[in-house]
Amino acid sequence: MWAVALKMLLGDKAKYFGLVFGVTFASLLMGQQVSVFISLMTRTAGLIFDLTEADIWVMDQRVRYIDEAEPIRDIDLSVVRSIQGVEWAVPFYKGVATVRQPNGLSQVVVLVGVDDISLVGLATDTILGNATVITQPQTAMMDKNGYKFMWPNTPFEIGKELEINDNRLVINAICNAAPTLTTYPTLYVSYSTVTQLFPQSRNKLPFIVVKVAKSESVQDVANRIQKETGLQALSRIEFAWRSINYFATRTGIPINFGITVFLGVLIGAAITAQTFYLFIVENLKQFAAMKAFGFTNSQLFQLVAFQALFVGVIGYSLGMGLTALFIRSVSNVPAFRGLTLHWQVVAGAATMIALIILVSILVSLLKVFRADPAMVFRG
């Protein structure tokens, strides 16, 4: 029975490849587009996800996402440290700054300032130099892709000089860092360097990151911090999702990607469904003949379902394989930093493909079930 199903399917190579192409195309579109979308959204909270040591982020009540930094008072750091359940709390700076290169060109950068002692929040995957070098005055570490962005086709080297707010800054380390939504280079400095770079502003501290004591619940400590300081205290995941949701709801990214993904799924579904439908309809007389000499509707269902499953598994595997190949091939392209094929995407695409195929075969099978075996007598 299965052999018959397979022979019928593979007998018409053109239609078989058409079916596989439809499923492959739909899988590729879903996998690739959704992955790019997730990657973009994740980038909006990349720094938060990366700072795994911290359980709670403390910030101004008005902050809606990580790039919306409202300075809070330095004294709040001491208040937070004194709250029950806080194991440690350190300052964390994230902002944008304009740097000037020796050749006079300016460039906007993401400036990350980490606690001088603990270095909490510092990227640790150093590819040149030593990350701890940033504790020295006028010293910074730059992310690899930012370096490539600023000095394309130049080998990595330490000692490059920049100027921020009339202060000299030397890049003495280069690292891999979590990608951000923008392609701006990320500069890591110590928090005390941040205060020296911008001495004129009284309050500079945008975030306090907190580690909760093992015996305490994160939510309880966050509530205490909010109560004691009047500041907003969110768990790491809560803040990351808040940042993602901000971009998802306040920018055109989701709707545009959503339309693309939707169209991709629609086109893939239409190709798959139509090709499968035509495949069945063109074989209708053969199915009618099979019914005439004793194949039951149940047997024909099994036969068509097996064909659909075969096409689905091959097409889906090819589609996911091509998606993985695409992600692998662009892994070194700065614009695609952090692009990953998540298992949820793989599972989601599998579900969608299964649904498309199920609907296709059900519609096609109605035609088979209604096929009048008497049609085989018509010339």
Partner 1 sequence: MNAIQLTNVSKQYQSGDLSTLALDNVTLTIPMGKLSMLVGPSGCGKTTLISVASGILTPTSGEVVTLGYPLSTLSDTQNVTFRRQHIGFIFQQFNLLSSLTAAENAAMPLVASGVPLRKATQQAITLLNDLGMGAHCHKLPRQLSGGQQQRVAIARSLVHQPDMIICDEPTASLDGKTGHDVMEILRHIANDPKRAVLIVSHDTRVFSFADHLVEMADGRILTNPSN
By the criterion CB under 8 A, which residues form the site for partner 1?
1, 3-4, 7-12, 285-286, 289-296, 299, 372-374, 376-379
Q: β-strand 56-59 against 232-235: which pairing, if any?
A: antiparallel
DSSP element (H, E) containing 349: helix 343-370
Determine the Cα–Cα distance for residues 304 and 297; give it in Å rounded to an integer. 10
In this complex, which beta carbon is closest to partner 1, that of residue 3 or of residue 105? 3
Determine the Cα–Cα distance for residues 205 and 375; give it in Å rounded to an integer. 81
Cβ pair 210, 236 in contact under 8 A: no
In this complex, which beta carbon is closest to partner 1, that of residue 167 or of residue 299? 299
In this complex, which beta carbon is closest to partner 1, that of residue 263 or of residue 374? 374
- Shortest reach from residue 19's CB to partner 1, in Å: 14
- Shortest reach from residue 125's CB to partner 1, in Å: 56
- Shortest reach from residue 280's CB to partner 1, in Å: 14
In this complex, which beta carbon is closest to partner 1, that of residue 160 or of residue 291? 291
- Shortest reach from residue 274's CB to partner 1, in Å: 21
- Shortest reach from residue 311's CB to partner 1, in Å: 15
- Shortest reach from residue 46's CB to partner 1, in Å: 53
Residue type at position 373:
P
Closest by CA to 208, choosing from 181, 237, 238, 229, is 229
In this complex, which beta carbon is closest to partner 1, that of residue 36 or of residue 280? 280
In this complex, which beta carbon is closest to partner 1, that of residue 293 or of residue 343? 293
Residue whose token pair is 């599972």 = 347
Determine the Cα–Cα distance for residues 127 and 158; give it in Å rounded to an integer. 11
Number of alpha carbons in the 13 Å side-chain half-sphere of residue 306: 16
- Shortest reach from residue 360's CB to partner 1, in Å: 20
- Shortest reach from residue 275's CB to partner 1, in Å: 17
Cβ pair 365, 280 in contact under 8 A: yes
In this complex, which beta carbon is closest to partner 1, that of residue 6 or of residue 322? 6
In this complex, which beta carbon is closest to partner 1, that of residue 292 or of residue 314? 292
Helices and strands: H and E segment counts in the chain: 12, 10
Residue whose token pair is 């989701």 = 254
Q: What backbone phi and psi angles, to 5 degrees, belong to 207?
A: -140, 150
- Shortest reach from residue 309's CB to partner 1, in Å: 18
Computed from CA positions of residues 154, 187, 196, 166, in that sequence, does the dihedral angle turn out positive or negative? positive
E strands in 254-340: none
Give the rounded distance of the alpha carbon of 51 from its chain centre.
Answer: 17
The answer for residues whose C-beta is within 8 angstroms of residue 250's C-beta and 6 or more apart is none
- Shortest reach from residue 1's CB to partner 1, in Å: 6
In this complex, which beta carbon is closest to partner 1, that of residue 267 or of residue 289? 289
Residue whose token pair is 């306090």 = 208
In this complex, which beta carbon is closest to partner 1, that of residue 7 or of residue 214? 7
Determine the Cα–Cα distance for residues 38 and 341; give it in Å rounded to an integer. 9
| Token representation of residue 262 | 């939707």
Residue whose token pair is 């806080």 = 86
